[in-house]
């Protein structure tokens, strides 16, 4: 089996895993409706789960897909769209997004770099098992386009398998559906001329950082 095919299979497995929970809740609610047992609480569960599936699909389509949503037609991703996608993706979960305003932030990024930013946000949120805040910064610097995503919360940790994925240690043969998105994020970052670095600032804070060439500002 080719490495590209294995990577595609693992990514599909990962995305299906992230969707099966809320999709299953919708299905269970519909079965209750067919039996005439759909009360108010069950209806709320169906509604919220369906909305969660929609939000996740919108995020995954841009972060992982060949298409880039509204931005794909011009090869860019605006920071406003990235912020909306991230906020909606994490809505109702343990982690929240903080996106401070900055006069140094570019309006848009090249689509590939925008995907890397979304994947960094996803990795940061997964580093907060007890919840916390994912803080996003971007800046147009003399040396390039800088991205920094912080994960702050009790017990913040980058699990060893995720770290291995980001380090691309062992190659694609050692990947699993649990860490394939970390590998994919690093591979995409390197394709765009950058690299994702991590730093454990404190026991409760992790930083994900990347620097890209100036031509990645859209």
| pLDDT per residue as tens digits for the range 12-65 | 999 998 999 888 888 877 777 777 666 777 777 788 888 899 999 999 999 998
Q: What is residue 73's predicted lDDT score, i.e. its pLDDT?
A: 47
| Mean confidence (pLDDT) of the chain | 88
Q: Copy the structure tokens of residue 79.
A: 């920071």
Domain span including residue 207: 3-216
pLDDT value at 112 more than 90 = yes
Helix (H) or strand (E) holding 16: helix 3-34
CA distances from 150 to 34, 82, 93, 138 (A): 45, 16, 17, 12
Q: What confidence tens digit (pLDDT) does each residue in 126-163 have?
A: 999 999 999 999 999 999 999 999 999 999 999 999 99
Q: What CATH number is given to the structural domain containing 18?
A: 3.30.565.10
pLDDT value at 168 more than 90 = no
- The number of domains in the chain is 1
Q: What is residue 67's predicted lDDT score, i.e. its pLDDT?
A: 56
pLDDT value at 100 more than 70 = yes
Higher per-residue pLDDT: 216 or 98: 98
Q: Taking a C-beta distance cutoff of 8 angstroms, is the pair 203, 156 a contact?
A: yes
Average pLDDT rounded to a whole number, residues 188-209? 95
Cβ neighbours of 143 (radius 10 Å) = 8
Q: What is residue 2's predicted lDDT score, i.e. its pLDDT?
A: 61
Whether pTM > 0.85 for this model: the answer is: yes
Report which of 64, 212, 72, 87 is spatially closest to residue 148, judged by C-alpha positions.
212
């Amino acid at each position: 089996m080719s490495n590209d095919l294995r990577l595609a299979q693992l990514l599909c497995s990962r995305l299906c895993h992230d969707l099966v929970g809320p999709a299953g809740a919708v299905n269970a609610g519909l079965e209750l409706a067919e039996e005439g047992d759909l009360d108010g609480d069950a209806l709320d569960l169906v509604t919220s789960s369906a909305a969660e599936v929609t939000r996740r699909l919108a995020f995954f389509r841009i972060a992982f897909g060949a298409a880039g949503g509204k931005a794909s037609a011009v090869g860019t991703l605006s920071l406003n769209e990235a912020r909306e996608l991230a906020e909606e993706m994490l809505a109702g979960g343990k982690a929240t997004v903080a996106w401070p305003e900055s006069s140094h932030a570019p309006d848009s990024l090249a689509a590939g770099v925008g995907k890397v930013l979304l994947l960094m946000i996803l990795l940061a949120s997964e580093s907060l098992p007890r919840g916390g805040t994912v803080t996003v910064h971007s800046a147009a610097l003399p040396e390039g386009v800088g991205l920094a995503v912080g994960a702050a919360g009790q017990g913040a940790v980058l699990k060893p398998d995720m770290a291995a994925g980001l380090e691309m240690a062992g190659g694609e043969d050692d990947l699993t559906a649990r860490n394939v998105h970390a590998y994919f994020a690093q591979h995409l970052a390197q394709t765009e001329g950058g690299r994702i670095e991590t730093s454990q600032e404190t026991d409760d804070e992790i930083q994900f950082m990347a620097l890209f060439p100036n031509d990645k500002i859209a």
